[in-house]
Structure 1
Amino acid sequence: MSVIYILLSVSVVVGVTFLVIFLLAVRSGQYDDDYTPSVRMLFEDELVKENNTSKQTKTD
């Protein structure tokens, strides 16, 4: 029975350690996306096309 308590406490310590490491990585900007904003201008805007067609129908 004491082995279960040891394994449980070790697993909780490992889980908390990984959580702290993950939170430190998020705060330091490890998961910031620097690539997508630079290529966003290469894709066509769907919203602009919809707005242009709605403006043409209002003037007709």
Structure 2
Amino acid sequence: MSVIYILITVSIVVAVVFLLAFIKAVKSGQYDDDYTPSVRMLFDDELKKSPSKIIEVEKQKPI
């Protein structure tokens, strides 16, 4: 029975360590997306070619 208490304690400690490592990675910007904004401008013209998008773009332009 004492082995179960040891295993539960060790598993909780390991879970807390992984949680702290995840929080540190998020705060340091590990999961920030730096690639998509640079590629988005390459596909901007394709979005304007579809008829529904052209209407939306024309509505946004001031007269």
Identical-residue share of aligned pairs (%): 63
Q: C-alpha root-mean-square deviation of aligned residues, in Å?
A: 2.1
Judged with a 3 Å threshold, the aligned counterparts in structure 2 of structure 1 residues 9 and 16 are, in CA distance, closer, same or farther, namely same
Distance apart, 1:19 and its partner CA: 0.2
Aligned residues: 54
Give, in whole Å, the separation in 1 of the partners of 2:31 and 2:41: 21
Distance apart, 1:52 and its partner CA: 2.8
Give, in whole Å, the separation in 1 of the partners of 2:36 and 2:53: 24
1:18 paired with 2:25, answer no
Q: Where does the alignment leave 5 or more consecutive residues of structure 2 unmatched?
A: 59-63
In the alignment, is the contact (CA less than 8 A) between 2:47 and 2:53 conserved in 1?
Answer: no
Judged with a 3 Å threshold, the aligned counterparts in structure 2 of structure 1 residues 6 and 24 are, in CA distance, closer, same or farther, namely same
* TM-score (ref. length: structure 2): 0.73
Distance apart, 1:41 and its partner CA: 1.0
| 2:8 counterpart residue number | 8
Distance apart, 1:42 and its partner CA: 1.4
Deviation >4 Å, runs of 4+: none
Amino acid at match of 1:15: A
1:50 to 49, 52, 59: 52
